[in-house]
Amino acid sequence: MRIAIMGGTFNPIHNAHLISAEQVHDKLDYDRVLFVPSARPPHKGTHDIIDSEHRYEITQMAVADNPHFEVLRIELDREGQSYAIQTVKELQELYGSDCELAWIIGADSLIEFKIWKDWDEILNICHFIATTRPGYPLSKVPHDIINRVEIFQIPEIEISATDIRNRIRSKHSIRYLVPPQVVEYIAKHKLFI
Q: Where are the domains of the chain?
A: 2-158
The mean predicted confidence, pLDDT, of the chain is 94
What is the chain's alpha carbon radius of gyration, rounded to the nearest angstrom? Answer: 16
Q: Of 3.40.50.620, 3.30.750.24, 3.40.50.410, 3.60.20.10, which CATH number belongs to 2-158?
A: 3.40.50.620
**According to the model, what pLDDT value does residue 32 have?**
98
Q: Which of 88, 87, 77, 133 is nearest to 107 (CA)?
A: 133
Alpha-carbon distance 42 to 46, whole Å? Answer: 9
What mean pLDDT do residues 12-33 have? Answer: 97
Q: What pLDDT was estimated at residue 65?
A: 97
With 80 as the cut, is the pLDDT of residue 87 above it?
Answer: yes
| pLDDT in the model for residue 46 | 62
Contact 132, 156 (CB under 8 A): yes
Strand spans (E) along the chain = 2-8, 32-37, 69-71, 100-106, 127-131, 150-152
Residues in a beta bridge with 106: 131
Tens digit of each residue's pLDDT (9 = 90 or more) over 125-146: 999 999 988 888 888 999 999 9
Residue-level length of the chain:
193
Report yes or no: 23 and 154 within 8 Å, Cβ to Cβ.
yes
